[in-house]
Amino acid sequence: MNLPKQFWGQQVEVIVLATPAQEAHISPKKSLRGCLHHYTNPAFIEREHEAWQDAVKEKYDHY
């Protein structure tokens, strides 16, 4: 505990009082789920399961 210099070397009384606990403000979890929905192209949805293979084939097919 840091006391002001005027109290150094003197006997002091320290009183500790409890203050009412403030409620912790918990903000709701935010989710990015669905935030890109307006970019969807229904024509590509049926091709999603092949997208990775097609990308790799396109990138490395010329080797």
Dihedral of alpha carbons 34, 40, 44, 46, sign? positive
Position 22 in a domain? no
Half-sphere exposure of 47 (CA within 13 A, CB side): 10
51: containing domain: 36-63
Q: What is residue 20's predicted lDDT score, i.e. its pLDDT?
A: 84
Q: How many domains does the chain have?
A: 1
19 occurs within a structural domain: no
Asked if residue 25 is part of any domain, the answer here is no
* pTM more than 0.75: no
57 is a domain residue: yes
Task: Give the distance, in angstroms, between the CA of residue 56 and the centroid of all CA atoms in the same chain.
Answer: 33
Report how far Cα 16 is from the mean position of its chain's Cα atoms. Answer: 36
pLDDT digits (tens, 9 = 90+) for 2-38: 889 999 999 999 999 988 887 777 888 888 888 888 8
